[in-house]
Amino acid sequence: MKLKKGDNIIVITGKDKGKRGKILQVFPDINKVIVEGMNISKVHEKSRTRGKAGQIVERSMPLSASNLMILDAGVPTRIGIKKVGGKSVRIAKKSGNEI
């Protein structure tokens, strides 16, 4: 997976199409990411202590990484890998800049 925590992305398909955000968490084993403010779902939480009521909380759920594109200077682009000095570096396919 070429996406990392903290990357600025844009959603290219789905109910949040066109929205921009920042990656909060990455799950490379299932190819999903959590983006702030995207794919909001209401989750019912049980009360944890006696005497308090349960509640309904809005939570960001994971999105498939294939539905996202990284933003390079505000423009959606694909990501490539390039060897620089023996290290692998992520580059933007459109501009060729390091990400």
* Residue type present at position 15: K
| CATH code for the domain in which residue 32 is found | 2.30.30.30
33 assigned to some structural domain: yes
1 assigned to some structural domain: no
Q: Which residues have CB under 8 Å from 54's CB, separation 6+? A: 44, 45, 46, 47
Q: Per residue in 37-82, pLDDT tens?
A: 999 999 999 988 888 889 999 999 999 999 999 999 889 999 999 9
Domains: count for the chain: 1
DSSP the chain: ----TT-EEEE-SSTTTT-EEEEEEEETTTTEEEETTSSEEEEEE--SSTTPPPEEEEEEPPEEGGGEEEEETTEEE-EEEEEETTEEEEEETTT--B-
Q: Can you give the pTM of this predicted structure?
A: 0.81
83 assigned to some structural domain: no
50 assigned to some structural domain: yes
Categorize the per-residue pLDDT at 85 as very low, low, confident or very high, splitting at 50, 70 and 90: confident
8 pLDDT more than 90: yes
